[in-house]
Amino acid sequence: SQQGEEDPQALSIQEGENATMNCSYKTSINNLQWYRQNSGRGLVHLILIRSNEREKHSGRLRVTLDTSKKSSSLLITASRAADTASYFCATAAGPGTASKLTFGTGTRLQVTL
């Protein structure tokens, strides 16, 4: 399987704390994306980082990418109960529209009050 691995599989934190999720992948990539999925729903795009980028920020999100280690991390700062969801990394091998996404195993984040 070419599927990437994410850790932890599950993470439970209190509101206000930071949440860090890690993703490892196996093949060369053009870009890596992070998605969020609420239970039983579709996926919502969070942030994309290209292979020539090392770090990217968007609001409370910070993503890093280390292509030498084939790994990425997603940091959510000052978490809120509404951040409770599953988070997936996904890699694309090419820039074209036909470039399929390969998803990681996902991290289930639970943020409690």
Q: Considering only residues 77-96, where is the footprint of another protein by CB under 8 A?
A: 88, 90
Cβ of residue 16: shortest distance to another protein, in angstroms?
Answer: 26
Looking up tokens 């790994």 gives 71
Cβ of residue 112: shortest distance to another protein, in angstroms?
Answer: 19
Q: Hey, what's the torsion of the CAs at 77, 93, 43, 74, to 10 degrees?
A: -10
The contacts of residue 15 (CB under 8 Å, 6+ apart) are 79, 80, 81, 111, 112, 113
Residues in contact with another protein, counted by CB under 8 A, come to a total of 25
Q: Which stretches of the chain bind another protein, using CB under 8 A?
A: 3, 33, 35, 40-46, 48, 50, 88, 90, 97-106, 108
